């Protein structure tokens, strides 16, 4: 007894009192699925790479990003970023500019010449990838990193597919595209250009391939029958955009009409404008709000002076004139003819009515099913013919670069498993980290950074890139706007707010641990976790 009995006590002696026994529910650390990740067709772990980016560790960010997607500089330009549409921050102020940070990282990687880690060991298996578009490149990249020998056979003279032949330069500069494709080839992927696969089964046998991934895309422009005079200049949008990659630029004349309402129609019209058309008019049979094209692209086109003619169908074309019938929408939103006609002065008509797939390489392959012009694949991306997988625009899905890249990754995982006589089981999806799981009070108000845009005059006359990128300060700022939904970002809140000191801080990068000896289960940590990375679970008593 060092000091007076009972009245005076040794400091910290309450550690003997294990208050954890009071608990009826316990907090547990969880990783919930961020909405951005959930929405990303390429399956990127966006929250994770933003986590690195916001600390200025761009290389780790880029490496995390490219685990899922080998084309960040491309993606940062052409992706329609459904991630941002799902971003919880949109409900606080504005969505995080994920796409712009992705582009920043892609550009930094190109500038610094970062390369992919080569595979650790070769599997001894050979995989044929048909088509060097986004889907094929993605599949080749993933398969190669898994250790397989990959050969891409591409019918055209350049790799890139629709990224090169469908997306105009002013949206995707070709040096960026080339840099990211070359980085994949540098992994040891064999790229054979001007090599059209006519008979897939034969090609596989001849090359000694164990599996094939078909990603030939959809690049045959759909034609609609439009009565036309002999001198009428009618061409399809895909051909127009493809010809932009050739030596000679196409001659369209001063007045160009584009028929269609998708993104390709917009691209075609904006290209025509840049080629010198004084009038570039998009004719679409419905209204603006029903256009499949993304609104921001419509907006950019309007800024550049593209004209829109809604509720109109083209009935016929004569030399220099188009006959257009006005339409009206019926109760169900379908356009119906009105019998009213008008004429437009036109030098060229560009049809942007969608694309078909050239499926000739599949002729005679047993087991395949073709439906509505595309190949049916199982959930593992395999066609009806064992060992032949397919993805991208040639299978039923949304036709975007991002979806295609996602297909490539998904197919690669299944091909890899199939080659090992196994089946790929995707990881169980975590619970979605919706806004209701967050405590947004802890985030300061920070509006989205606006990316610089090229001035209008130059947008109307050159193919310079329209949208600029972020500089480092902006990119950091933007990355730090991420709420880190569902994933601990080591803010120390749980460590700080516990009234019972029952949270153990494990140090940088190690996160935290609950001390259940003392945790009374009050739930303050879970309530005050900004990002929803703590769940309360009932104790079994």
Partner 1 sequence: MNEQTTTLDATQKLHFYQKGTFTVGNRLVSDERRAVQASTDRSNALTCGHRACQGCGEALGARYAMDAAMRATGGNVIAVNATGCLEVFTTPYPETSWQTPWLHSLFGNAAAVATGVAAAMRVKGRSEVRAIAQGGDGGTTDIGFGCLSGMFERNDDVLYICYDNEGYMNTGVQRSSATPPGARTATTPAMGPEPGNVFGTGKSVPKIAVAHGIPYVATATVADLHDLERKVMRAMGIHGARYLQIHVPCPLGWGSASHDTIRLARLAVECGLFPLFEAEHGVVTSSQKIRRRVPVDDYLKPQRRFAHLFSTEEGRERIGRLQGLADRNIAEYHLLEAEGDA
Partner 2 sequence: MLKQIEGSRAMAEAIGLCRPEVICAYPITPQTHIVEGLGEMARTGEIKNCEFINVESEFAALSVAIGASAAGARAYTATASQGLLYMAEAVYNASGLGLPIVMTLGNRAIGAPINIWNDHSDAMAVCDSGWMQLFAETNQEAADLHIQAFRLAEELSMPVMVCVDGFILTHAVEQVDIPEQADVDAYLPSYEPVQVLDPKDPISIGAMVGPDAFTEVRYLQHYKQTLALRLIPEYAADFKSRFGRDSGGLLRSYRADDAELIVVAMGSVNGTIKDTIDEMRADGLSVGLVTLVSFRPFPTEALREKLVRARNVVVIEKSLAVGMGGPLANNVDLALRNVAGAPQVHSVIAGLGGRPITRTSLHRVLRRALVQPWEGSHFLDLNEEIVAKELHYVRKVRRSGPTAENLLRRLGQAADEAAVKTAV
Burial label for 457, CB within 10 Å (0-12, 13-18, 19+), is exposed
Q: Which is nearer to partner 2, 6 or 121 (CB)?
A: 6
Q: Which is nearer to partner 1, 178 or 528 (CB)?
A: 528
Helix (H, G, I), strand (E, B) or coil at 497: helix
- Asked if 473 touches partner 1 (CB under 8 A), the answer is yes
- Asked if 482 touches partner 1 (CB under 8 A), the answer is yes
- Asked if 10 touches partner 2 (CB under 8 A), the answer is yes
| Helix (H) or strand (E) segment spanning residue 19 | none
Q: Which is nearer to partner 1, 368 or 526 (CB)?
A: 526
Which of the ranges 2-10, 218-226, 264-272, 451-459 carries the binding residues for partner 1, by CB under 8 A?
A: 2-10
β-pair type (321-329, 220-221): unpaired
- Asked if 14 touches partner 1 (CB under 8 A), the answer is yes
| Residues between 489 and 518 that touch partner 2 (CB under 8 A) | none
Which of the ranges 5-13, 40-48, 368-376, 453-461 carries the binding residues for partner 2, by CB under 8 A?
A: 5-13
- Asked if 191 touches partner 1 (CB under 8 A), the answer is no
Dist CA 11 CA 13 (whole Å):
5
Dist CA 403 CA 207 (whole Å):
29
- Asked if 7 touches partner 2 (CB under 8 A), the answer is yes
Q: Min. distance of Cβ 48 from partner 1 in angstroms? A: 14
Q: Min. distance of Cβ 2 from partner 2 in angstroms? A: 9
Q: Min. distance of Cβ 451 from partner 1 in angstroms? A: 17
Both tokens assigned to 203? 């090609």
Dist CA 507 CA 540 (whole Å):
30
β-pair type (321-329, 335-345): antiparallel
- What is the residue-wise DSSP string for 527-538? HH-TT--EEEEE
Q: Which is nearer to partner 2, 1 or 423 (CB)?
A: 1
- Asked if 444 touches partner 2 (CB under 8 A), the answer is no
Q: At what angle do helices 98-112 and 46-53 cross, to 10 degrees?
A: 60
- Asked if 16 touches partner 2 (CB under 8 A), the answer is no
Binding test (CB under 8 A) with partner 1, winner from 56, 337, 364, 452 = 56
Going from the C-alpha of 167 to that of each of 79, 132, 153, 355, 431, the distances in angstroms are: 11, 15, 21, 14, 36
Are the CB atoms for 329 and 287 separated by under 8 Å?
A: yes
Are the CB atoms for 321 and 228 separated by under 8 Å?
A: no
Which of the ranges 125-133, 163-171, 343-351, 521-529 carries the binding residues for partner 1, by CB under 8 A?
A: 521-529
Both tokens assigned to 226? 């439009």
Q: Which is nearer to partner 2, 15 or 444 (CB)?
A: 15
Q: Min. distance of Cβ 439 from partner 1 in angstroms? A: 8
- Asked if 472 touches partner 1 (CB under 8 A), the answer is yes
Which of the ranges 7-15, 214-222, 242-250, 294-302 carries the binding residues for partner 2, by CB under 8 A?
A: 7-15
Q: Which is nearer to partner 1, 51 or 80 (CB)?
A: 51
**The dihedral of CA 486, 492, 497, 502: what is its sign?**
positive
- Asked if 429 touches partner 2 (CB under 8 A), the answer is no
Q: Which of 406, 417, 425 is nearest to 215 (CA)?
A: 406
How many residues bind partner 2 (CB under 8 A)? The answer is 9
Q: Min. distance of Cβ 19 from partner 2 in angstroms? A: 17
**Cβ atoms within 10 A of the Cβ of 376, count?**
14
Q: Min. distance of Cβ 256 from partner 1 in angstroms? A: 45
| Helix (H) or strand (E) segment spanning residue 149 | strand 149-153
| Helix (H) or strand (E) segment spanning residue 85 | helix 82-86
Helix (H, G, I), strand (E, B) or coil at 262: coil
Applying CB under 8 A, which residues contact partner 1? 6-7, 9-19, 22, 54-56, 441-444, 446, 472-473, 476-477, 480-484, 489-493, 495-502, 505, 507-508, 515, 517-518, 520-524, 526-528, 530, 536
* Chain residues in the site for partner 2 (CB under 8 A): 3-11
């Amino acid at each position: 007894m060092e000091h007076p009995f009972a009245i005076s006590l040794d400091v910290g002696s309450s550690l003997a009192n294990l208050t954890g026994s009071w608990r009826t529910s316990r907090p547990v650390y969880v990783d919930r699925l961020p909405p951005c990740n959930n929405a990303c067709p390429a399956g990127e772990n966006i929250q994770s790479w933003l986590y690195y980016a916001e600390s200025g560790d761009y290389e780790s960010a880029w490496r995390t990003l490219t685990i899922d997607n080998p084309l960040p500089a491309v993606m940062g330009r052409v992706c329609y970023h459904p991630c941002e549409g799902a971003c919880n921050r949109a409900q606080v102020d504005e969505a995080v500019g994920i796409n712009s940070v992705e582009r920043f990282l892609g550009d930094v990687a190109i500038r610094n010449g970062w390369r992919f880690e080569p595979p650790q060991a070769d599997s001894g298996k050979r995989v044929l990838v048909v088509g060097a578009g986004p889907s094929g490149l993605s599949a080749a990249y993933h398969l190669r990193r898994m250790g397989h020998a990959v050969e891409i056979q591409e019918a055209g003279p350049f790799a890139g597919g629709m990224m090169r032949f469908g997306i105009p330069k002013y949206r995707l500069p070709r040096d960026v595209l080339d840099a990211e494709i070359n980085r994949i080839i540098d992994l040891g992927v064999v790229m054979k250009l001007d090599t059209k696969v006519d008979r897939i089964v034969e090609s596989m046998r001849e090359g000694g391939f164990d599996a094939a991934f078909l990603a030939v895309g959809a690049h045959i422009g759909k034609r609609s029958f439009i009565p036309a005079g002999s001198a009428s200049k009618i061409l399809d949008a895909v051909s127009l955009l493809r010809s932009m990659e050739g030596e000679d630029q196409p001659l369209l004349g001063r007045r160009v009409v584009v028929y269609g309402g998708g993104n390709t129609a917009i691209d075609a019209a904006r290209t025509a404008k840049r080629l010198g058309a004084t009038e570039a008019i998009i004719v679409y049979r419905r209204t603006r709000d029903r256009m499949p094209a993304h609104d921001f692209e419509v907006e950019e086109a309007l800024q550049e002076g593209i004209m829109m003619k809604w509720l109109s169908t083209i009935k016929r074309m004569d030399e220099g004139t188009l006959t257009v019938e006005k339409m009206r929408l019926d109760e169900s939103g379908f356009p119906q003819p009105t019998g009213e006609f008008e004429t437009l002065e036109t030098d060229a008509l560009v049809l942007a009515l969608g694309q078909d797939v050239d499926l000739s390489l599949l002729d005679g392959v047993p087991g395949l099913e073709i439906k509505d012009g595309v190949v049916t694949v199982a959930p593992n991306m395999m066609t009806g013919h064992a060992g032949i997988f397919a993805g991208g625009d040639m299978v039923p899905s949304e036709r975007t670069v991002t979806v295609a890249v996602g297909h490539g990754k998904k197919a690669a995982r299944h091909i890899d498993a199939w080659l090992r006589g196994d089946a790929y089981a995707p990881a169980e999806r975590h619970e979605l980290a919706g806004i209701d799981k967050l405590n947004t009070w802890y985030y300061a108000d920070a509006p989205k950074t606006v990316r610089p845009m090229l001035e209008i005059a130059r947008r109307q006359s050159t193919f310079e890139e329209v949208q600029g990128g972020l500089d480092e300060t902006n990119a950091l700022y933007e990355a730090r706007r991420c709420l880190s939904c569902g994933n601990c970002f080591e803010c120390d809140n749980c460590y700080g707010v516990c009234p019972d000191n029952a949270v153990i801080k494990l140090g940088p990068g190690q996160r935290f641990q609950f001390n259940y000896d003392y945790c009374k289960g009050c739930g303050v940590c879970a309530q005050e976790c900004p990002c929803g990375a703590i769940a309360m679970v009932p104790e079994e008593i």
